[in-house]
Structure 1
Amino acid sequence: MINIFLTFCAGGAAALLFFKMKVPGGMLIGAVCGTVALSLATGRAEMPFAAKFVAQVSAGAFIGCSVSVRDIMALKRMRAPAAVVILSFLALDMILGLALYSFTSLDAITALLSAVPGGMSDVPLIAFDMHADVAEVVVLQFVRLCMGIGFFPAWIAWMYSRKRGGAAEAAAEPDAQPEEKATLTPLSVAAAFFTAAACGFAGLKLHVPAGALVFSIAGTLALKLLGIPAALPKRFKRFAQVLSGTYIGCSIGAEALRDIPQLVVPAVIIVAAYMLNAYAAGNLLCKKFGIPFKEAMLMVPPAGASDMALISADIGVHSPSLVVMQIFRMLMAASVFPQICYQITKLF
């Protein structure tokens, strides 16, 4: 019990430091680094399985709570662009994952999950359940996230400045009415968490790969679609990220750290592939569906869905369609893509 407490304190302190330093994905990355440091220094890092389960259930609950009936209705008029976005990401994941497996030292499931366009809060936990190399997945997902936040907005601005000499761009879609948010009450919090926990436990018992996460998403999403208030406070999400990071950090030892320099080539390949996909799919969305160029590029970004709201505002894009697209992408990346990856690895 003392080891668990020390691990949580070390991970939590580093997570808070990274968060204050505004490191991308800082809560999870900081918790991983703090736990690894404790493990290497004392060998006392320890976290129970319950920590992973709570983290997965919390991640699933937050994803499910982020979707509303209005979002689902909005997808009906955007089904063609949504299909392009999801299929482009799926093709990218499959091609990139198989290329990394064929030409680098990554095993099949690690390569495929490293290329999944998901978030730092859920993909590493999925990697655990699917027996991938979690350290490699965390590093490669972190590189993609940093590139998406740090370089991608400037690249879009540069591309847009080059295109301004051509035809005028269509006006961006005006902001929709403010999204109705579930009131954060004890009842709505309890409904979200306990529904996610019950569904996540069912997924665990059914032995579905990443079942706790997938089923908790489905359960919370069902609550929202039924009109039942469901919400979780941001502080709880950060707590879950610390749990997730400490659990991941306990599995990373000195040998895994020594292998990190070998990830330079896979990281470069992932960055290049995501940039190429953003350019190709973004231009297709712009030309085929008349979506403004910057908005189209932001629909297929390297960064996580939750980061797009900040990035889009920074470069002057305010579009409810973009928000809906990112929510849909987040759902697919957390629930469907990993299952496809898992089935593909059975062929090897």
Structure 2
Amino acid sequence: MNREEKMNIIITFAAAGFVGFLFYKLRIPGAMMIGAVCGTVLLSLTLRCAAMPYAAKFSAQVTAGAFIGCSVEKSDLLQLRNAYRPALVVLGSFLLLNFSVGLLLRRITDIDLLTALLCAVPGGMSDLTLTAADMGADISHVVVLQFVRLCAGIGLFPSWIVWLDRKFVRKERAESETAFSIKERKKSDSPPAGVLCILLSAGVCGFLGRCLRLPAGTLIFSMMGSLFLKMTVLPVSLPRWIKRLAQILSGAYIGCSVSYDSLMKIHTLLIPAMIIVFAYMLNALLVGNLLFRRFCIPFREAMLMATPAGASDMALISADIGVQSPILIVVQILRMLAAAAIFPQICYQAAILF
């Protein structure tokens, strides 16, 4: 890495951190990550020097995994047996939505069926781009529409969920939050050595997960490593500034993954993008209300379960809007695994048949 590349990384991190801090002062939900994305994209559009290595994404995923593991208590583990029913509802709704939106896009645009279906998959942008290339779909369409879906998931949905919760659900929430109630975590002063051990454990386990090339392997393994260490010998909690740093790194990496040419194509895909965002908002509203009323899951948590963002993104953002739930992360990880390994194969077979 030469001096210019290092300087570009420093400038990108500074821009992402500045806009993230600005959004944080404005009290925007998920401010650090959203601001980091906006700052990086703005830098990319103006100076064309935005750069962030894969190590930033890896570090963010490891930190998110460690943050999840350290936020889980033993009592939370007993609740995980109740996660399979909400997970089935969420996965079923996403699969139905995937096909409904894909078929609608195919009908009203000139996008081929396989590309339309992959554009509507609620999975990771980078993973789906590689999958689309392997399957012969139009990568440019997939990148742009998946980027819109991702930005809506981390930028629009948290603020919208908070607004809905305050506007319509506040009175009902006190009666409905029972088995899945949000518990206030007691903040403890964790020794720096303990925090360092947790992060090292998460890093080693996350690297192992990456080497195994499992979908979401880095996040899952780092979470399990930190959880095991916390439950056995180191009952520590990570300080919030580490989570903020991970949000900036993740947002900067997401911003850098969008090229100038991709951004210039957004206006040509405006109608498909609006359809995808509206469909996912409607799905989140319907499924969130179902989970809220049928399974007594708190409204914000239920809505976040049906939000099409990444599991690590949800881990980093959910606490900002008052949700600390291992069940939410379990459901999001299952959604990520299904979207990476199962949904594209179903889409491919459907495109062949029809």
Where on the TM-score scale, by shorter chain, does this alignment land: which range?
0.7 to 0.9
Shift of 1:199: 0.7
- Equivalent position amino acid for 1:61 in 2: A
2:44 maps to which of 28, 39, 42: 39
- Residues 75 and 336 of structure 1: CA distance in aligned 2, closer, same or farther (over 3 Å): closer
User: Structure 2 CA distance, aligned partners of 1:171 and 1:219?
Assistant: 34
1:232, distance to aligned residue in structure 2 (A): 1.7
Aligned-partner SS, 1:46? coil
Structure 2 distance, partners of 1:177, 1:5, is 38
Q: CA deviation at 1:222?
A: 1.8
Contact residue 92 and residue 273 of structure 1 kept, 8 A:
yes
Indicate how the Cα distance of structure 1 residues 148 and 84 shifts in structure 2: closer, same or farther if over 3 A, else same. Answer: same
Aligned length: 308
Counterpart residue number, 1:91: 92
Instruction: Provide the residue aligned with 1:19 in structure 2.
Output: 24
Q: How far did residue 107 of structure 1 move?
A: 5.0
- Cα distance in 2 for partners of 1:60, 1:111 equals 26
Alignment partner of 1:52 is 2:57: yes
1:273 to 255, 259, 283: 283
Distance, in Å, in 2 between the alignment partners of 1:28 and 1:127 is 21
**Aligned residue for 1:340?**
338
Alpha-carbon offset, residue 32 of structure 1: 1.1
Instruction: Indicate the residue corresponding to 1:203 in structure 2.
Output: 209
180 and 6 in structure 1: CA distance in 2 versus 1, 3 angstrom threshold: closer
Q: Could you say which residue in structure 1 is the equivalent of 2:303?
A: 301
Contact 2:161 2:300 in 1 (8 A): no
- Alignment RMSD (CA, Å): 3.3
2:122 corresponds, among 88, 108, 113, to 113
Aligned to 2:260: 254
Output the amino acid matched with 1:190: L
The structure carrying a bigger helix percent of its residues is 2
Report the CA distance shift for 1:233/1:177 in structure 2 as closer, same or farther (over 3 A). closer
Contact 1:305/1:330 (8 A) holds in 2 = yes
Paired position in structure 2 for 1:317: none
CA 1:221–1:260: 2 relative to 1, 3 Å: farther
1:228-247 equivalence runs, <5 A: 228-247=234-253
2:15 to 2, 7, 10: 10
| Aligned partner (choices 162, 172, 175) of residue 149 of structure 1 | 162
Structure 2 stretches lacking a partner, 5+ long? 1-5, 106-110, 133-141, 308-313, 349-354
TM-score (norm 2): 0.75
1:275 Cα deviation (Å)? 1.2
SS state of the match for residue 302, structure 2? coil
- Whole-angstrom distance in 2 between the partners of 1:52 and 1:177: 30
Q: What is the distance in 1 between the residues matched to 2:233 and 2:187? A: 11
For 1:100, the equivalent position in structure 2 comes to 101
Runs of 5+ unmatched residues, structure 1: 115-122, 162-168, 286-290, 313-322
Q: Is the 8 A contact 1:68 1:224 kept in 2?
A: no
